């Protein structure tokens, strides 16, 4: 069976500090990978998606970046965090192919102070 691991579960970071969130998928190969952000009481905003190693598509202009150094590893980064970067960050994967459902990791609750 497939599993997705995301860490850490919670994170408190000062403004201006760097960020690195990591996500790995097990039990499948060549998945589509996604980073979403959910602000309090809001829906999920797609930040980045990747269809393969080194292939990253950005959905929203921001000071975040994503990388996919290995087939089943997806990393979300920032060089300098802003207060507005606070939120619930979710990594997800889906099967290859169009219109397939996404499966989520446990999420990282980031608070920038």
Partner 1 sequence: QKEVEQNSGPLSVPEGAIASLNCTYSDRGSQSFFWYRQYSGKSPELIMSIYSNGDKEDGRFTAQLNKASQYVSLLIRDSQPSDSATYLCAGGNTGGFKTIFGAGTRLFVKA
Are the beta carbons of 50 and 92 closer than 8 angstroms? Answer: no
For the window 11-50, what string marks contact with partner 1 as x by the rule CB under 8 A? ---------------------x-x-x-----xxx-x--x-
Task: Dig out the tokens for 28 from the structure.
Answer: 């499948």
Specify the pairing of strand 73-78 against strand 102-104.
unpaired
Q: Is residue 60 within the footprint of partner 1 (CB under 8 A)?
A: no
Please calculate the CA angle 76-20-97 and round it to the nearest 5 degrees. 25
Residue 56 binding partner 1, by CB under 8 A: no
Separation of alpha carbons 4 and 68, rounded Å: 15
Of positions 25, 81, 90, 110, contacts partner 1 by CB under 8 A: 90
When asked if residue 95 is in the footprint of partner 1 (CB under 8 A), the reply is: no
Binding site for partner 1 (CB under 8 A): 32, 34, 36, 42-44, 46, 49, 51, 57, 59, 90, 94, 97-107, 109
């Amino acid at each position: 069976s497939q599993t997705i691991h995301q860490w850490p579960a919670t994170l408190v970071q000062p403004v201006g500090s760097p960020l690195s969130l990591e996500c790995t998928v097990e039990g499948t190969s060549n998945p589509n990978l996604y980073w979403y952000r959910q602000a309090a009481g809001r829906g999920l905003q797609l930040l980045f998606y990747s269809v393969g190693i080194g292939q990253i598509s950005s959905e929203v202009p921001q000071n975040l970046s994503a990388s996919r150094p290995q087939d089943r590893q997806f990393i979300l980064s920032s060089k300098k965090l802003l207060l507005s970067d606070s939120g619930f960050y979710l990594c997800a994967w889906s099967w290859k192919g169009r219109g397939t459902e996404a499966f989520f990791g446990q999420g990282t609750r980031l608070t920038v102070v």
